[in-house]
Amino acid sequence: MSTDPNCIFCKIAAGQIPSRKVYEDEEILVFHDIHPWAPVHVLMVPKAHIPSMVEVGPEHAPLLGKMMALGPRLMRELGVSNGFRTIVNTGADGGQEVGHLHIHFIGGPRPWAKG
């Protein structure tokens, strides 16, 4: 599994930086966002360093499928029952702030909704 020694998400996945873990297995780590947009806001990262969706290839399909199937289960377990957002920011123009593929799962009252 490839990692980047300068990547904050690689360091979190390796346990070098603490996080509030929600789920972990040999391929994936899910943890609470330190700047949540809603009552439930978790980040799901592959433990292998994949810089962004641009670098995803057919070999990543099983991992990405697993990630997308895991998200709804975790949101239910975290008490989200009225829907949630699934966001993958890609590249600088797509709003990606950390150069490691990650999926935001955001649920609860919607602060982004117009009042």
Q: List the catalytic residues.
A: 102
Output the 3-class SS for 38-58: CCEEEEEEECCCCCCHHHCCH
Our CA dihedral for 50, 87, 97, 58, rounded to 10 degrees, sits at 20
Question: What span, in angstroms and rounded, lies between the C-alpha atoms of 44 and 112?
Answer: 21
